[in-house]
Structure 1
Amino acid sequence: MRGNQPRLFAALDALDWGTGPVGHEETVREHGRSVRRTMQVRPAPDDLPFPHVKQVFSCERCVTT
C-alpha cells in the first residue's frame, strides 16, 4: 500500500498478521537474488473504513542478495 489511504493502512496494519496461517509461500532465485513471497488472507474487520469488504490480504516480499 502506498500510503494514499492512511486510515485503511492503519486498520490493516493493526491486524495480527503474525498469528494467521500463510496461504501461499514461494522462494525463487531471480537475477542472482533469493526472493521469498508470502500471502495471507483474513476476514475483514468490522470497523474497516471501506464498506462491503469481506476479506483482506497481505502480500510480502523479502529479497536477499
Structure 2
Amino acid sequence: MSFGAPEILIILFVIILFFGARKIPELARGIGQGINEFRNATVDSEEELDEDSSESSSRTK
C-alpha cells in the first residue's frame, strides 16, 4: 500500500495539530538519534560476530 501526496499531507497536518509546531523538530531529532544509535549497535554487533567467527575458524585449523 503506497501513500499519495494527499494522504501524507493529512498525516502531517494531524501530527502538527497533535504535537504542535514547536515539538516537531525535537521529536525528529530524538528519532534521528535513536536511528543513529541503532545503526551503531548493529555495526558493533556485526564486528563482534566477524571477530568471533574469525577466531573460531583460526582455532579449528
Structure number with the higher helix fraction is: 2
User: Which gives a bigger RCO, structure 1 or 2 (Cα 8 Å, sep 6+)?
Assistant: 1
Task: From the CA coordinates, give the structure whose radius of gyration is larger.
Answer: 2
With the length of structure 2 as denominator, give the TM-score of the two structures: 0.22
TM-score between the two structures when normalised by the length of structure 1: 0.21
